[in-house]
Structure 1
Amino acid sequence: MSTFQYNKWLIALIILGLLASLTINWQRHTVEQANATVEMVMEYEDIMELAQMEGAEPAGLFQQFKAAGITSLAVYETTLEKLNKSGKLTALPGADILHQDRTGMLTDPFWRSLIAGGRVLAEDVYIVGQDKQVFAEVMSDLERRLGPDRVTLLAEGDRPVLAVKANFEKVVKWNLGLPSDELRAVDNLGFYIVARPTNYTKVTADDVNAVFQRLASAKNLSAIMFSGDEILGYPDLLPLTVSYFKERQITLAMIEHPLQLQFLKQEGLTQVATAINYQAARVYAIPKDEQPKLKMRDAIQRWAVTDQERNIRINLMRKYDKPEPGKTLVETNLQYIADTKAALLAEGFVMGKAAIYQPYFAAPWLLALIVLGATAAGVLFLSQVYPFAARWQYLLTGLIAILLIFPVLKGGGTLSRQMAALASAIIFPVLAMTWQLDRWRKQEAAGQFAGSVGIGRIITAGIGALIATTCLSLIGGLYVGAVLSDVRFFLEMEIYRGVKLTFVAPLILVTVIYLTRYNVFDKVQTVNARGLWRQLTGIMEHPVTIKILCLFGAAAVVAWIFIGRSGHTAGVPVPAIELKLRALLEQAMYARPRSKEFLIGHPAFLLAAMAIYQQWPRLAQFLLIVAATLAQGSLVETFAHLRTPVLMSTIRGLDGLLLGAVIGAAAVVGVYVIQLIAARLVGRSPSAHE
């Protein structure tokens, strides 16, 4: 039997990197623990609409929502359409005024004189003010958006009138600045303000100044959550926007993308976040088209999970438009808010102004040690595929490490860190499985699998091996969680690259490892990489039967589901029964384990142990080993979600180990019972080789 050596000095470098990763992960945990305040936000207009629909007094209804848990109100820019509906001003096309005059319905002498003087044009828009401040703000914003030449003041006094050269259907929907009266009302009601301004076309310094001057009167401004595709001031005046953020210590609200990867595309968002030293908070809103389909309890559970797992600190909550049975619409929405608050409090959150991360960046020398450890792990893996002299292992480790570490020590090295993270996520699960395979090979060579092996021993030994293997894989997860630890990754301004490769590569590499140690089609062990090449050649020349075609077809379907379900793109849908299982586990466990771990990978590991102890055919052993590697890779990939607290990622993996061991033990017992039944049917007891 060929013996593969594990270089002790490379292992020492891996341990050194592990110590560095534990240090960084503890620092990261401390930063994450300090970030526990959630801001619950509703739109000012939503509550006003509820008051109108239910005939409730607005001020009292706002206080009820505040008592239920709402901390902040989102204030959007106003439009002529909104102001028309609220009666704060009147906007109408010139054509309507002319129609009224021609039909004899226009009796106001003011308008009749304007028409007689030819000052009312069918294609223009006319705005009549009831509220002087609202009128002045609308006029100011229209002049900035259209230019003063297209906006004419026709009358002043108690009933001011504007003539605007614009298309009525378009202009009534334009954003016309944040309304001062709503900002003032939110302040007086005792809520925080989340302002939602938009950018201007060909934005000028005067435009940016005007927005922040209007916000200057807001006493309780919590955050700015920009609307539209651009940040105010983009592209050339972002420094001016940044100066206002710094001056008032305003939090930048960054809206998570519906696919849960980074943010809704807004030009200038990450530049502003970086410039204000990452005083930013992640925002989530249940999509408008999805919320009506969710039962209230499911929506509440989603908020609890979202805030825990994805570092959401601003919950932008939309109202329900249909009442629950036996409740009014207001009672339904008050219960929704109150129950969501209770669920968050139960998870250890507090309600208030959104918490932000301190601008954490790990010490470069600690990151360098992790990069060195990841490099050593990569070289150690190569030595398990094709053993080569120790001096060449040291040389290769040194050369690669120098190239990767130099930019890290210079204070940058994001690409180097991402490469080290990717290597760790791929290599450590494979090394863990390789080590376990070699343990089993030694036991087999020592004759420990000869004769019948009891079911109790298979389960206890298998669980022990599973725990040891998972702990080794966990080192890779801790490497990933540490080497990418900084505030940019916590906020998802930077992300882990190579999710799909992380799932697929370990399966390929463990296949390579297996073929260097075993012959898939018989009991003869291969010797080294040359044996690997002979096996690959033999596999390519192996006759294809219908059975093999069916096997490959099934494998292709599994791969399609497996790869399609990875990452954040819309891929293979999740079955309804699995969604229900997820919801159950989310409520029953601190961190819901991944189904591919506790349902597939870990049970496959215990079945692989059974296959090896009972000396099943090599092909069956190989397929189970590959399936077991799936769980090890998934465990490490969990840590690639840097927005998730490192403690939660760790517990998620351990929960999966616990549940997977139980299901795996049950699977082993089930197979053993089937063996007994089959043996009785043929009149003999199970053979050691069955």
Structure 2
Amino acid sequence: MKTYKKLFLALVGLGLVASLCLNWQRIQVERANKTVETVMEYNSLLRIAQEEGVPKEEVFRQFRDRGVTTLAVFDTSLDKLAQKGAVNVLTGAQLLEMGRVQNLRPEWQAIIDNPDFMVDALYISAGTSDRALREVEEDIRLRFGPQRIVEMNASPLILRFDGDTIISKNPIAGDERGVREMDLGPSTDELEDVTKNGFMVAIRPTNYSERYTAAAASEEEQIHAFFDRLDNSGAHVSLIIGSGKQMLGNKKQLPLVARELLKRHITLGMVEGVTQLQFVRLDGLTELAKLANYQVARTYVIADAEQRKMQVFDAFRRWSLADEERNIRVNYIKVFLTPRDNKTLLQTNLDYVERVTRDVDSKGFAKGPADIFKVYQPSRLWYVPLAFSLAAAFSMYLLLLGVLKEEHYGKTTLGLGVVLSAAVFAGPFGLLARQGIALGAAVTFPVLSLYRMMGIWRQSGHAGNLVQLVCRTTLYLGETIVLSLIGASLLGGILSDTRFLLEMDIYRGVKVTFMLPVLLTLLLFLRTHGLWKKGEDWRKPLHRVVEFLDRPLNLKALAVLGIFAFVAWVFIGRSGHTAGVPVPMVEQKLRFFLEETMWARPREKEFIIGHPAFFLAAWAAWKQLPTWFYGLCVTVAAIGQGSLVQTFCHMRTPILMSYVRALDGYVVGVVAGLIAVAIFAAAYPHVLRLIQKRRNPVG
């Protein structure tokens, strides 16, 4: 064996061993994270109880019995408190009108007669809760300043709040909010009600550091008052999930908030973005997660606009998949707002929640406070053998392509390995270097594994009969997948740390990982099948490509380009979660079937496109078909290899599941490959006769 091959095998083997060690450590971290917290919104359950005419305690009990562990409590406002009757809120104009049509109680009449009476102020008194009124007074002093709230009567207590009394025409957007709609703070009555009914609390505050007025209390005072209220309520607050556009404490007081969260063991819920990529944007979220020592749980919620269009069945399927495949540990379930399936609103949502929690339980998850990842950051020394492994693989590709000479392989490999290793230790550039190594590994190893197969097919691909062909191709496909998975293991190892597992940092080359293996495989194919001649300068084949591009286009060429453009649009668009390429109903049903029958649903690009193309490439080599057809099959087979490695780019997915997904893709891909070979083998004689007839129309 030549020296450069020995060096290649040694460095790749060393990198593989290091990556497997890192991946084993990652598996232990992921296995210890198996408890899922199920959250619903307190006010949503209250609305269901009111609409159904059922006592709220009974509604709470039924949802608790069906697995809901936690209720989310938002900041209250004067409007919310008034609608519940906890306090009475009247504008000065409303008081005047009431005084004209009826006799007011003496204390209210005295307020109207007072020279300081203000028509555009709010007058607040106790409704069903004296405590709510006291908290309103406290919150207004904190948020707006003490001069904005004046005691107008002592017994009963009546307060005047001087502020803009308009009601927003667009409360969702938060435009033109009057003081009645502005967030004050959490209601102790609500917190106690949640606790009394057997739930934990997911608190959802706005950012009190964004003070409403210059006279408001300091940021520290407002944050301390918030946590004091939580403590005094006696509620078991398990989660904090941001509300609005900023996290509590953003920007200057995030360290204070982090300390208070750690002191109380409150987990930060980070809501996954609608594209399943990182998180719903909240200013200060990732900074707070870091300051809170990554005491974080990934949280999933179906967006309101999307859920309104969904059936209950479609919604319930998502939860266990999210928990299994994306390390979601907080299932934030929103209620259906209209009855479905000929059931009452209450029964619709009870059945929905029960199906969700039962399905999650069946996947082996426990119920309780959300588990969090143990902080995991391996030593950077682990990354050195991975860097040299990639250097060896990339240099081998350059060698195979004819760009690098054999005598320069060792120096190039060692030099590139040193540069990559140094970059990993280069402070803030270390993260970028790790992502670059991950991208290189994900792209290079699938190409090298397919190059090995091209050599095998070139030497002995035409031997044996059809049965022997499919048997050895099945074996070769397994070997090719294993070799491609070396790159996947390197990728999974070098990006294994808490930030990537939580997806606070992400792999940024997903679409490149799909496309580059195809292009690099095509280049190698052209290199080995006549584009480059041995010893030829690289500029000559490039010149031939330019000459080809200079040819005039005809309709046939335009049609072929149009087909390729459509395929590329679907291929690239379907990679990831941001494309507008729709999923056909047939494919949705196939996905559901595979999800139900396999632990990890394999990717369609592997078992529908890539692996069948691998079988067809072997069949084309066996039949010694035209080079263009064989090359097309080899290039398309690269899609499958790139796809199975790309699975590992999603660090939120447990790595063991990614390995199993590749195995499942192999099993289904073999079946699809056998079907593809059977179809092409049956059609080939007929196609051959048509071609011969066209060439010899007389005969």
TM-score tier after normalising by the smaller chain length = over 0.9
1:48 maps to what in 2?
46
Q: Does 1:67 align with 2:65?
A: yes
Separation (CA, whole Å) in 1 of partners of 2:501 and 2:142: 38
Q: Which residue of 2 aligns with 1:454?
A: 465
Q: Distance in 1 between matches of 2:520 and 2:231?
A: 60
Inter-CA distance 298–370: structure 2 relative to 1 (3 Å threshold): same
Contact conserved, 1:360 with 1:487, CA < 8 A, in 2?
yes
Q: CA 1:411 to 1:525, structure 2 compared with 1: closer, same or farther past 3 Å?
A: closer
Match of 1:424 among 441, 448, 461: 441
C-alpha distance in structure 2 between counterparts of 1:84 and 1:227, whole Å: 22
- 1:4/1:387 contact within 8 Å kept: no
The 3 A distance-change label for structure 1 pair 682 and 168 is closer
Q: Which residue type is aligned with residue 101 of structure 2?
A: G
Note the C-alpha offset of 1:595. Answer: 0.8
1:505 maps to which of 493, 498, 516: 516
- Equivalent position of 1:597 in the other structure: 606
1:493 to 495, 500, 504: 504
User: Does the CA contact (< 8 Å) of 1:92 and 1:125 recur in 2?
Assistant: yes
Matched, 1:479 2:479: no
- Counterpart pick for 1:415 among 418, 421, 432: 432
2:201 match: secondary structure: strand
CA contact (8 A) 1:462 1:606 kept: yes
| Distance in structure 2 (CA, Å) of the matches to 1:56 and 1:476 | 58
Equivalent in the alignment of 2:393: 377
**Structure 1 residues 406 and 649 mapped into 2: Cα distance closer, same or farther (>3 Å)?**
same
**CA distance 1:540–1:683, change in 2 (3 Å):** closer
1:223 has 2:239 as partner: yes
Residues 78-112 of structure 1 show CA distances to partners (whole Å, capped at 9, x for unaligned) of 111211111111112222222333x3335333232
Q: Displacement of 1:162 after TM fit?
A: 2.6
Matches of 2:639 and 2:82, distance apart in 1: 60
1:252 alignment partner, SS class: strand
1:333 to 342, 345, 349: 349
The answer as to 2:140 corresponding to 1:120 is no
**Aligned-partner residue type, residue 596 of structure 1:** K
Q: CA–CA distance in 2 between the matches of 1:485 and 1:227?
A: 30
CA distance in 2, matches of 1:33, 1:249: 21
Shift of 1:265: 1.1
Q: 1:5 to 1:654 in 2, by over 3 A?
A: farther
Number of matched pairs: 672
2 CA distance for matches of 1:108 and 1:254? Answer: 50
Matched-pair contact (CA < 8 Å) for 2:387–2:417: yes
Using the alignment, how far apart are the partners of 1:408 and 1:682 within structure 2? 57
TM-score normalised by length of structure 1:
0.93
Which residue is 1:400 aligned to? 416
User: What is residue 516 of structure 1 aligned with on the other side?
Assistant: 527
Contact 2:63–2:350 (8 Å) recurs in 1 = yes
The normalised TM-score by structure 2 is 0.92
Q: Deviations over 1:203-232 (max 9, x none)?
A: 611011011111113342111112111111
Tell me the alpha carbon deviations over residues 125-152 of structure 1, each in whole angstroms, 9 at most, x when there is no partner: 2222222211111111112222222222
| Contact 1:35/1:356, CA 8 A, preserved across alignment | yes
1:303 pairs, out of 316, 319, 330, with 319
Does residue 1:189 correspond to 2:197, yes or no? yes
Counterpart of 1:211? 226
Per the TM alignment, residue 337 of structure 1 is displaced from its structure 2 partner at its CA by 1.4
Cα offsets for 1:172-195 (capped at 9, x unmatched): 221110111111122222211111
- Quick one: which amino acid aligns to residue 643 of structure 1? R
Q: What does residue 439 of structure 1 align with?
A: 456
User: Could you say which residue in structure 2 is the equivalent of 1:319?
Assistant: 335
Shift of 1:307: 0.7
Residue of structure 2 equivalent to 1:29: 27
CA distance in 2, matches of 1:528, 1:185: 81
Equivalence map 1:121-270=2 (5 Å) = 121-130=118-127, 131-169=129-167, 170-200=178-208, 201-202=210-211, 204-217=219-232, 218-270=234-286
Structure 1: state its 5+ residue gaps: 685-690
Q: Distance in 1 between matches of 2:536 and 2:467?
A: 34
Worse-superposed segment, 568-577 or 378-387: 568-577
Partners of 1:469 and 1:646 in 2: CA distance:
19
- Displacement, 1:325? 3.6
RMSD: 2.3
Q: Do the aligned partners of 2:151 and 2:157 also contact (CA within 8 Å) in 1?
A: no
The verdict on how the C-alpha distance between 1:510 and 1:5 changes in structure 2, with shifts beyond 3 A counting, is farther
Aligned counterparts of 1:333 and 1:49: Cα–Cα separation in 2: 12
Residues 8 and 545 of structure 1: CA distance in aligned 2, closer, same or farther (over 3 Å):
farther
Shift of 1:556: 0.8
Mapped to 2, the partners of 1:578 and 1:384 lie a distance apart of 39
Amino acid at match of 1:204: E
Amino acid at match of 1:622: G
**Structure 2 regions of 5+ residues with no counterpart?**
168-177, 212-217, 694-699
CA contact (8 A) 2:36 2:370 kept: yes
Which stretch shifts more, 6-15 or 605-614?
Answer: 6-15
